[in-house]
């Protein structure tokens, strides 16, 4: 016969147990006091009663906490002994506070698990920073739905890879996946590409052509750089999004389609709406679920992994020196991942020794060159607190880059104690393990 179990929350069990035991000890103490009260004064009876309750409650509470925390302590001890657990952090940040220790271990284990999940689910996307793991989580949540997804991010951040990830984890995987770059197609041909055309619809239309929307029926269509789509085409796109129907150019027959839309842009669409450069009704229609893809300067922890990945793609056996990697990690990368990839490819060509040095990069660290315009615009939009946080995060990242992730040395450079540095690292979501690769490459 199968046993039946009743699950009761610890938030109910512990207070109920403590209250019951406290009541029991009060009763027993009262009996004790009554029995010996004739031998003691009234004040001594009250003191004995209070002292007994306090001592008994403390002992019982201690016992319950020990029982409850026993599996937690066992888990923490096992986790700290695992080879994948970062030992340096335990050596650098000493603490006698069990709660802080538990919290740190849980954070580390969560980080390790999410990194493994990211590698398994998105092998084509390189990124283990906290902010990128957040992007991966968003992809997993929205991918199985048919919701329209708007991917926002600067040029070169990998928006097409995110779109591919959405498709690969969607219920429409295996069905058509059509990609269209709105800025790469001339305005005069864009409608024909999207909706198709009938024979004789315009000069040169010698035969009927099936458009991208029709070809994507049952699958997914990715519209990249929608901010560059002409206003006239935007109106027709809105109808497809709302009604799932359209007509070919020069045609009168209404064509129904079942398509999931993924849309990307590097433009500020709300600003374009205010200026009349983008339809407001279309913006609200595509702004269902948005994914912000951060620029490379906001995820510097991923730079060592990206550098290693790009060098493995190179036909030459090339490595990068620690000093060169420090320059790469400190650069602002206005062109983002695309610029980093091109820089690594160029540097690999220039090196004759098989080792990339700073001279092969043709880069300068921030502060030695004028900041790129897009970065200035992003900074201008920040509040004072946001700017201070960005400055603090940048200083910590620079210190960790210089020390190869060694927090003791980084704390000395910053002039703060190790525990303060650890709390700031946690606040900004910085993955210190990424910087330790600076000494390995």
Residues 343 and 356 sit within 8 Å (Cβ to Cβ): no
pLDDT at 389: 74
The domain boundary residue, chosen from 270, 294, 318: 294
Residues 234, 151 within the same domain: yes
> Residue 313 falls within a domain, yes or no?
yes
Q: Is the pLDDT of residue 418 over 50?
A: yes
Structure tokens at 294: 């951060």
- 50/53 Cα distance (integer angstroms): 5
Question: Mind giving me the DSSP string for 186-220?
Answer: -HHHHHHHHHEE-TTSSTT--S-EE-HHHHTTTSE
> Residue 53 falls within a domain, yes or no?
yes
pLDDT band at 87 (very low <50, low <70, confident <90, very high): low
> Residue 5 falls within a domain, yes or no?
no
Q: Is the pLDDT of residue 441 over 60?
A: no
Q: What is the mean pLDDT of residues 255-272?
A: 94
96: left (phi over 0), alpha (psi -120 to 50) or beta: alpha
Q: Is the pLDDT of residue 377 over 90?
A: no
For residue 263, give its domain range: 130-294
- The 10 Å CB-count burial string (b at 16+, else e) for 404-421 is bbbbeebbeebeeebbeb
Residues 324, 219 within the same domain: no
Residues 220, 304 within the same domain: no
Q: Which percentage of the chain shows pLDDT scores above 70?
A: 69
Q: What is the mean pLDDT of residues 329-356?
A: 90
Structure tokens at 68: 């409850």
Residues 407, 325 within the same domain: yes
Residues 319, 423 within the same domain: yes
Question: Structurally, how many domains does the chain consist of?
Answer: 4
**Stretch (H or E) spanning 179:** strand 177-181
Residues 277, 144 within the same domain: yes
Q: Which residues pair with 260 in a beta bridge?
A: 220
> Residue 182 falls within a domain, yes or no?
yes
Q: Is the pLDDT of residue 142 over 90?
A: yes
> Residue 226 falls within a domain, yes or no?
yes
Q: What is the mean pLDDT of residues 196-216?
A: 85
Residues 229, 274 within the same domain: yes
pLDDT at 197: 86
> Residue 3 falls within a domain, yes or no?
no
What's the CATH number where 181 sits? 3.40.50.300
What's the CATH number where 367 sits? 1.10.8.60
The domain boundary residue, chosen from 294, 323, 339: 294
Residues 146, 282 within the same domain: yes
> Residue 347 falls within a domain, yes or no?
yes
pLDDT at 366: 43
Please indicate whether residue 439 or residue 200 has the higher confidence score (pLDDT).
Answer: 200
Residues 21, 112 within the same domain: no
pLDDT band at 368 (very low <50, low <70, confident <90, very high): very low
The domain boundary residue, chosen from 97, 121, 145: 121
> Residue 2 falls within a domain, yes or no?
no
pLDDT band at 376 (very low <50, low <70, confident <90, very high): very low
Structure tokens at 371: 């900041």
Q: Is the pLDDT of residue 30 over 70?
A: no
Residues 230, 255 within the same domain: yes
Residues 77, 114 within the same domain: no
Average pLDDT score, the chain: 79
Q: Is the pLDDT of residue 414 over 60?
A: yes
Residues sharing a CB contact under 8 Å with residue 21, sequence separation 6 or more, in sequence order: 56, 57, 60
Residues 330 and 338 sit within 8 Å (Cβ to Cβ): no
Please indicate whether residue 324 or residue 103 has the higher confidence score (pLDDT).
Answer: 324
Residues 58, 92 within the same domain: no
């Amino acid at each position: 016969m199968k046993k039946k179990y009743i699950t009761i929350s610890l938030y109910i069990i512990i207070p109920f147990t403590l209250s019951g035991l406290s009541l029991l000890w009060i009763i027993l103490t009262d009996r004790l006091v009554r029995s010996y009260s004739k031998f003691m004064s009234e004040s001594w009876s009250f003191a004995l009663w209070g002292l007994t309750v306090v001592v008994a409650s403390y002992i019982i509470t201690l016992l319950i906490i020990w029982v409850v925390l026993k599996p937690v302590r066992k888990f923490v001890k096992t986790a700290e002994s695992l080879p994948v657990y970062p030992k340096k952090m335990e050596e650098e940040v000493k603490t006698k506070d069990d709660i802080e220790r538990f919290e740190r271990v849980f954070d580390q284990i969560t980080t390790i698990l999410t990194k493994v999940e990211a590698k398994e689910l998105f092998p084509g996307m390189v990124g283990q920073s906290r902010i990128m793991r957040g992007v991966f989580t968003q992809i997993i949540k929205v991918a199985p739905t048919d919701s329209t997804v708007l991917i926002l991010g600067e040029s070169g951040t990998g928006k097409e890879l995110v779109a591919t990830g959405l498709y690969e984890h969607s219920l429409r995987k295996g069905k058509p996946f059509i990609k269209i770059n709105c800025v790469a197609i001339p305005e005069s041909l864009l409608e024909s590409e999207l909706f198709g055309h009938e024979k004789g619809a315009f000069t040169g239309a010698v035969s009927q052509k099936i458009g991208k929307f029709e070809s994507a029926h049952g699958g997914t269509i990715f519209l990249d750089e929608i901010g560059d789509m002409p206003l006239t085409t935007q109106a027709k796109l809105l109808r497809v999004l709302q009604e799932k129907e359209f007509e070919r150019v020069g045609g009168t027959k209404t064509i129904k389609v079942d398509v999931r839309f993924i849309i990307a842009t590097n433009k500020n669409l709300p600003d374009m709406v205010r200026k009349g450069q983008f339809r407001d009704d279309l913006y609200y229609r595509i702004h269902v679920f948005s994914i912000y893809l951060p620029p490379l300067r906001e995820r510097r922890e991923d730079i060592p992994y990206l550098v290693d990945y790009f060098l493995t793609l190179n036909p030459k056996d090339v490595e990068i020196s620690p000093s060169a990697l420090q320059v790469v990690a400190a650069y602002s990368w206005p062109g983002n991942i695309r610029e980093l990839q091109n820089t690594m490819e160029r540097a690999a060509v220039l090196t004759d020794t098989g080792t990339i040095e700073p001279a092969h990069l043709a880069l300068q660290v921030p502060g030695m060159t004028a900041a790129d315009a897009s970065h200035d615009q992003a900074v201008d939009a920040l509040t004072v607190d946001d700017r201070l946080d960005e400055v603090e995060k940048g200083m910590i990242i620079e210190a960790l880059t210089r020390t190869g992730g060694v927090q003791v040395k980084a704390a000395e450079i910053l002039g703060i104690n190790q525990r303060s540095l650890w709390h700031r690292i946690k606040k900004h979501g910085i993955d210190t393990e990424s910087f330790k690769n600076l000494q390995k490459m």
